[in-house]
């Protein structure tokens, strides 16, 4: 990935950051990065046992800072990235 100045950054620096979508929707916490996807885990706040694992395409990253990574993802798109993990 590249920063705002076009320099390549270490994608590993994004692990453990909070993932946010359009209108600041919660996309969980970044757990892993593959060639094509950024993988996040989002805990169901009502159940604390079910987790959603989201496979968000890397090309949807909009920007990032020290704590957050923002994606061009709308609330209604989350289902298409989801895999539910039951603990």
- Structural domain spans, the chain: 11-86
User: CA 55, CA 83: separation in Å to the nearest integer?
Assistant: 8
Residue range 24-65, pLDDT digits in tens: 999 999 999 988 899 999 887 776 667 889 999 999 999 888
More confident site: 85 or 69: 69
β-partners of residue 38 are: 33, 56
pTM: 0.80
**CATH code for the structural domain at 11-86:** 2.30.30.240
User: CA 36, CA 39: separation in Å to the nearest integer?
Assistant: 10
């Amino acid at each position: 990935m590249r920063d705002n100045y076009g320099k390549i950054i270490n994608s590993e620096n994004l692990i453990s950051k909070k993932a946010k979508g359009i209108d600041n929707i919660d996309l969980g916490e970044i757990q892993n990065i593959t060639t094509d996807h950024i993988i996040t885990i989002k805990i169901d706040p009502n159940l604390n046992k079910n987790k959603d694992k989201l496979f968000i395409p890397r090309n949807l990253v909009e920007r990032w800072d020290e704590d957050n990574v923002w994606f061009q993802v709308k609330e209604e798109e989350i289902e298409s990235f989801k895999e539910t993990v039951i603990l």
